[in-house]
Amino acid sequence: MNLTQHLAVYNMLSLGIASMLFTSIFLWIGRERVLPKYRMAVMVSATVTSIAAYHYFRMFDSFNHAYPVGGNVDAGFAGYNVGYRYVDWFLTVPLLLVELVAVMGLVRAVQSSLLKRLVPAAALMIVLGYPGDMHTQLFGLSNGAWGALSTIPFLYIMYVLFVEISKSLASQSPKVQGLLKGARILLVATWGVYPITFILAMNNTGSPTFQDVVSREIGYSIADILAKCVFGLLIFTVARIKSAEESKEFAAAELRD
């Protein structure tokens, strides 16, 4: 790996650490600035970025050891733990859906119904994508086959987000509706980066090339920052607006601050 390639990934992972860490700090402190019924959504958002911050520290350390400047491709692939990303996603992707549902303030039965479908589908999507990204040829299936299997729960999640959840948006104020629709589109758009990055290295049966590694780490990191940090801040904004809409006392207190 040459110096330019190494620095590109090094700096992107560093940006990921800073983004996740300081978004977490902001959200943990800011959770008191919303009504109690919406604090769970903000705390879940903070949990997502906190989990991601930890895993970015681990990925940063693993990358520096596995891919030194001038290092070997095969040694780098063997030494870099891609599993850190997938453990992170296995925990955080379902939680992203939890925070979206939680901030809508739906009745408990509707929330429970949505989460019982979204959370298992999100976890399954990550589990099925991992063998393909690791180039394992597990059970004789190609990288592309694992990617296709992972797409099935992804499409189901899209259906729930855009068909089932749309039915609940009518109960929200116009301003909140706009923000929630934007948050939903952001989530789907950033999730779309993952399969594109996956496909770029899909045909390699051996170790990914250095360029594959650079494209993968930069693509995944940009998508993570948008899907976790920006999305979390949108959820916080929605919680603040809904708190002000539902409590004149809260709105007056916030204006005084």
Give pLDDT, residue 111: 86
pLDDT tens for each residue of 153-173:
989 998 888 887 787 787 788
Q: How far is it, in rounded angstroms, from Cα 156 to Cα 245?
A: 33
* Residue 131 CB partners (closer than 8 Å, separation 6+): 138, 141, 146
- pLDDT score of 11 more than 90: yes
Give pLDDT, residue 168: 78
Give pLDDT, residue 27: 97
201 is written with which tokens? Answer: 């290295």
Q: Which residue has the tokens 């993570």?
A: 224
Give pLDDT, residue 214: 92
Percent of the chain residues topping a pLDDT of 90: 49
Q: What mean pLDDT is predicted for residues 68-89?
A: 89
Instruction: Label residue 56 by pLDDT band (50, 70, 90).
Output: very high
CATH T-level fold of 3-256: Rhopdopsin 7-helix transmembrane proteins (1.20.1070)
Give pLDDT, residue 246: 87
Instruction: Label residue 181 by pLDDT band (50, 70, 90).
Output: confident
Which sequence spans correspond to the domains of the chain? Answer: 3-256
Task: Calculate ∠ Cα 192-23-179, nearest 5°.
Answer: 55
Q: Which DSSP string do the residues of the chain spell out, in sequence order? A: --HHHHHHHHHHHHHHHHHHHHHHHHHHHHGGGS-HHHHHHHHHHHHHHHHHHHHHHHHHHHHHHHS-TT--HHHHHHHS-THHHHHHHHHHHHHHHHHHHHHTT--HHHHHHHHHHHHHHHHHHHHHHHHHHTT--GGG--HHHHHHHHHHHHHHHHHIIIIITHHHHTTS-HHHHHHHHHHHHHHHHHHTHHHHHHHHTTT-SSSPPHHHHHHHHHHHHHHHIIIIIIHHHHHHHHHHHHHHHH-HHHHHHHHH-
Q: What mean pLDDT is predicted for residues 50-77?
A: 93
